[in-house]
Homo-oligomer: A and B are copies of this chain.
Amino acid sequence: MQELAVTYSIGEVAEKFGLSIPTIRYYDKEGLIPNLQKNTAGVRRFSEDNIGTLKLIECLKNAGMPIKDIKQFIQWTLLGDETLDERYQMFQELRISVQKQMKQMQETLDTVNFKCAYYQKATEDGTEKFVKDEMHLE
């Protein structure tokens, strides 16, 4: 029975994730992609599992987590079931943090929407004079 393992080159992975090749090498160097294999010529070959790790890294980055914390998490996964509590706690804290960021982002969007309306009126008027009075004083 054949083991036919599909793998990807660093260029393909970079393309897939919209990351630069040096960035992926940097993540590897930082230990963010465990079990990443290299062929006999020293060329990286990314497994589906490595791709999954990269997806998670992207998620954690989007959540605003610094690289060193992502690294910590990856180290925990390598230690197995002994670190389940730490990982659970990490994600619970992350959830709170992301919820807070969402709320803040919504407030930001509200302000930006207000400013859009403000400047639409202003550009229509050709001046800020009128809209300033209308919108600032209640």
Contact = CB atoms under 8 A, between A and B. Distances in A.
Interface of A: 56, 59, 62-63, 80-81, 84-85, 87-88, 91-92, 94-95, 98-99, 101-102, 104-109, 111-113, 115-116, 119-120, 122-123, 126-128
A69 B122 CA distance: 21
A88 B119 contact: yes
A95 B99 CA distance: 20
Given A99-B109, A105-B105, A128 B84 contact: yes
B63 A91 contact: no
Chain A binding surface SS class: helix
Number of copies: 2
A91 B62 contact: no
B63 A112 contact: yes
Nearest to A131: B84
A102 B109 contact: yes
Contact of A127 (B81, B94, B111, B116): B81
Contact of A111 (B59, B85, B102): B59
B101 A105 contact: yes
Contacts of A123: 84-85, 88
Contacts of A128: 80-81, 84
A91 B119 contact: yes
